Structure 1
């Protein structure tokens, strides 16, 4: 019987953590779990010391305001672990919080396992040196991370991506449209972001592009166009009404991104996890990203960004499978033109679907089960 302390910091970590706990309990129902959990991890059998909501902060100023509370939680977690050392500490993502705990524990000889590698390959490559001091084993979601980390002397294993497990290789767009009660000729998902700062940079821009696209498609006889906006921000609808009140009948606002993407012919999204979600649904996608000019110039000046591409599918396939419009390139006219290219080039769409199917199979490894098997071996050795 093993005792694990497991810490997740957000909902994606709660999902991954719960599947790992369930798989470990299949091997031995007596295994014990404590830590920082979300509802799924608690349900799977982890006793919560704190809830992930206690760690939830948005933006730099929010972080600064809550630092004393976050430090207090972190030191309490470390104290509890030292009082009763587990067979392994498992930190899921949330690197700013978990890496500090892992560093303190590794010094004391407690085995540390980190799931979801921080994006060291995109920026701050020198962070790998700190991983070695804090982590005994890194479980990676992307195949290329394993090799890069191993080259630097860190024990790393690729476990696959949970998103690739949760999405079928072949999906049914007709059924997805029926599920939403829509029968339009062309369905386009618009995804301006999940943070308020992203919404402020992308919402009007995407709605402007959608308006231009709708008008241009109407001139070529395609007038049954539906725009789906999956988001938890109610004020997105207000932004649309403010700038394009006549377009409201062409829109549907919903909270489930999977339902929206599955029903779509095309996706226009800001760069982020949504690009991977779109890729796994094999949808033609236009990727955009805007940030404050000063931040963009700062990143350029310091040569901080290390990857050729911004979108995960492009990084993983090492080519621009989805067009990227970054900063000044992200105009409503350019977005409209890239969307039209997808709509008018069936051959390009077909070859893209082939590439994305290959990517999906590569990432689909049953991440929870794979991770549990590796963790079981790690604590047994």
Structure 2
């Protein structure tokens, strides 16, 4: 059998790790997995040295506060690996932690696999050099990443995107609305973000935009209009309730983002994975993003951002197929206007749907199970003894 050390640093990595473990165990059930795992990886058979929550910190200050503990985990992890070297180390996402470990292990001739390419194409392009020095095999989620990395002689395999497999190609909007008990003619999902800083930057402007859309709903023949916000934070609901009580009556607050997107006619979302989620549901969207002025000017001055677009669908198509309202362009008036443009132009929506259908097929054309053969090829013949 083969022995793998596998490390996930976030809940999303735990899900990917679980799928990879199950895929590897399907043909080789005797494989052994140990490392840093969450509940899904543990259920799939990984023996945890640490829990994924031990590494889950957010923001630069969160990292600095927990740095001694994280460095301690890293040191113990490397010591444990040196005492019992695995056939391969698999780092899932979490590049600032995993790539450093992978570099050290590769120098010791331990095979290294990294799953989920760092966003080198967006910023910190120099990480390609780090990847080359650290990784024997990179498993990426987007086809353009495979193409770019192979140009830099990085051994890369596109394995599809898990969201493309978890979201049905045919979206049943009416069923989603029935499940939510919503009978509005027009339903708009608003996604301000999941982090406090994002919510603070986006929420007020998005509520103002919703008010403008609602005020002109009859004029634009949108009929009964409602809004839905998928969130885990009660403060988002409370803020609207006390600042705009009349508008609050038009809002629904739920936890299930998938159901909210599926039920909607339009998604207004901050830039991030939610844009891909909306695209896979074939939804028109308006993408927004605002950061602090200090951060924005720092990135601009040092030319740290290398991409033309912020939204994943635009990056994938290399054209602006959905509007992006970034920084100073993110105003209630602009969000309102872009929303009206989508809701009133059925031909434009139909063309977008076709593009998203093709994108969905491409991202679902590969799966994690197809990574098994390249992993086995990398580590060599399967051992028969422990």
Does the TM-score normalized on the shorter chain lie above 0.5? yes
Gaps spanning 5+ residues in structure 1: where? none
Structure 1 counterpart SS, 2:118: coil
In structure 1, the partner of 2:284 is: 284
Shift of 1:360: 0.7
In structure 2, the partner of 1:369 is: 369
Q: How far apart are the structure 1 equivalents of 2:367 and 2:104?
A: 27
Q: What is the TM-score of this pair, normalised by structure 1?
A: 0.98
Q: How far apart are the structure 2 equivalents of 1:305 and 1:280?
A: 26
Q: What is the TM-score of this pair, normalised by structure 2?
A: 0.97
Asked if the contact 2:137/2:156 (under 8 Å) is kept, the reply is yes
Q: How far apart are the structure 1 equivalents of 2:370 and 2:327?
A: 39
How many residues of Structure 1 are paired with residues of Structure 2 in the alignment?
Answer: 381
Structure 2 counterpart SS, 1:189: strand
Residues 247-278 of structure 1: CA distance to partner in whole angstroms, max 9, x if unpaired? Answer: 11211111111111001110000000100100
In structure 2, the partner of 1:86 is: 86
Q: How far apart are the structure 1 equivalents of 2:372 and 2:214?
A: 48
Residues 315-340 of structure 1: CA distance to partner in whole angstroms, max 9, x if unpaired? Answer: 00111111000000000000000000
In 2 relative to 1, CA 244–330 (structure 1 residues): closer, same or farther, beyond 3 Å?
same
Structure 1 counterpart SS, 2:30: coil
In structure 2, the partner of 1:23 is: 23
Shift of 1:366: 4.5
- Tell whether 2:37 aligns with 1:37: yes
Q: How far apart are the structure 1 equivalents of 2:93 and 2:365?
A: 19
In structure 2, the partner of 1:144 is: 144
Shift of 1:223: 4.3
Gaps spanning 5+ residues in structure 2: where? 382-386
In structure 2, the partner of 1:303 is: 303
Q: How far apart are the structure 2 equivalents of 1:365 and 1:379?
A: 25
Residues 280-331 of structure 1: CA distance to partner in whole angstroms, max 9, x if unpaired? Answer: 1000000000011121111112221111111010000111111000000000
Shift of 1:378: 1.9
Asked if the contact 1:204/1:243 (under 8 Å) is kept, the reply is no
Q: How far apart are the structure 1 equivalents of 2:19 and 2:372?
A: 9
Shift of 1:243: 2.6
Q: How far apart are the structure 2 equivalents of 1:229 and 1:356?
A: 23
Residues 177-216 of structure 1: CA distance to partner in whole angstroms, max 9, x if unpaired? Answer: 1111111101111000011110000111111111111111
Q: How far apart are the structure 1 equivalents of 2:21 and 2:369?
A: 9
Q: How far apart are the structure 2 equivalents of 1:294 and 1:367?
A: 41
Asked if the contact 1:165/1:365 (under 8 Å) is kept, the reply is no
- Tell whether 2:155 aligns with 1:131: no
What aligned pairs does 1:1-381 form with structure 2 within 5 A after superposition? Answer: 1-380=1-380
Asked if the contact 1:9/1:92 (under 8 Å) is kept, the reply is yes
Q: How far apart are the structure 1 equivalents of 2:137 and 2:220?
A: 56
Q: How far apart are the structure 2 equivalents of 1:377 and 1:251?
A: 53
Shift of 1:370: 1.7
User: What's the C-alpha RMSD, in Å, of the aligned pairs?
Assistant: 1.1
Asked if the contact 2:158/2:366 (under 8 Å) is kept, the reply is no
Q: Which moved more, 1:371-380 or 1:181-190?
A: 371-380
Structure 2 counterpart SS, 1:150: helix
Q: Which moved more, 1:283-292 or 1:7-16?
A: 7-16
In structure 1, the partner of 2:384 is: none
Q: How far apart are the structure 2 equivalents of 1:333 and 1:145?
A: 36
